[in-house]
Amino acid sequence: MNVEDYDFHLPEELIAQTPLPDRSASRLLMVNRENGQTQHRHFTDILEQFQPGDTLVLNDTRVIPARLFGVKEDTGAKAEVLLLKNLGEDRWEALVKPGKKLKNGAVIVFSDELRAVIEEEADMGGRTLRFIYKGIFQEILDRLGSMPLPPYIKETLDDRERYQTVYARHEGSAAAPTAGLHFTKELLEQIAAKGVNIAYITLHVGLGTFRPMSVDKVEEHVMHAEYYMLSQETADLLNEARSRGGRIIAVGTTSCRTLETVGRQAEGGPLTACSGWTDIFIYPGYQFTVVNALITNFHLPKSTLVMLVSALAGREHILAAYEEAIKEHYRFFSFGDAMFIY
């Protein structure tokens, strides 16, 4: 399977630079996964699509201010760090710039109270850093760090909370689960009032999900591992839904990947509370075990996310829907419009 088969032309003006003032003011492209038929709606119309007995699954991860700016201790040259994964004992996996000048043993100074030593090098600018600090690390990060907005967003974000879902709880992500940005507390209350169960999982989003693929064959790509958690409360809700034939609707590809990870581990049996690291890569040919429908944003050409939605609805249906979205000037990526694949 060729990566080039998932390419399409995206006009630059369709890349959303700022969030809409109203979270739920986005447009919604509905795609029937069986026949590819589409409908153009507003996101608030999603309420009509839920049925009593459905279970809506949300990723409650919270984005940390993961971007830090400092200087190289010995030269004073500028350095940038993007935290990706907490490895414990004050060590983090991170991306650094400029990668060529930040080698093992280099010290980056961020302030009088925070510095980091590079301990290991990896590919694509990856490093393992050990932090040295005075005080409480999270409090220092809140003061010195900035939100890790994707590189295609050129605008600054005055309100940090606009890059958080309204239900974000567990800190640890380097990027927001952006499909959830469309939901307001009021809309979630209305959904629950229809008899829909609302369940939460956690997957701390790393940049591996969004990295462009550097291989020619889809099967050769290796996903970056991300940490997930599934509570017993959520497992019980999902098991109940599956036993009575209710739909499980994932909000975002991160929720989808988590659900399919735990579903695959259960091997057809009931889901149970669990946590760990997942590097699941979902592309056409994959057989879904848990997810029946998906609310998602519009993704990069040739990305693993386009392949995931193609696995659910079929490559031809997805590329046709994307062509229609481009024609109708839908907003793409993190602050863009939404798609409901059902």
Q: DSSP string of 122-189?
A: -STTEEEEEEEESS-HHHHHHHH-B----TT--S--S-GGGGS-TT--EEEESS--GGGGG--HHHHH
Residue with tokens 């991170």: 94
What is the amino acid identity at position 229? M
User: What's the pLDDT score for residue 34?
Assistant: 96
Helix H or strand E segment including 139: helix 137-144
Are 204 and 227 in contact by the 8 Å Cβ rule? The answer is yes
Q: What is the pLDDT of residues 2-18, one digit of tens each?
A: 999 999 999 999 999 99
User: What's the pLDDT score for residue 99?
Assistant: 79
Burial 272-305 (b: 16+ CB within 10 A, else e): eeeeeebebbbbbebebbbbbbbbbbbbbebbbb
Instruction: Tell me the mean pLDDT per 10 residues along the chain, length 342.
Output: 94 94 95 98 97 97 96 95 91 89 93 96 83 95 92 82 96 94 98 98 83 85 92 98 96 98 95 96 96 97 95 98 98 97 98
Cα gap 42→233, rounded to integer Å: 32
Cα gap 274→174, rounded to integer Å: 22
What is the amino acid identity at position 235? A
Nearby residues of 137 by Cβ (< 8 Å), 6 or more positions away? 90, 131
User: What's the pLDDT score for residue 152?
Assistant: 83
Angle value at C-alpha 338, between 336 and 339, nearest 5 degrees: 140
User: What's the pLDDT score for residue 291?
Assistant: 98
User: What's the pLDDT score for residue 214?
Assistant: 82
User: What's the pLDDT score for residue 163?
Assistant: 95
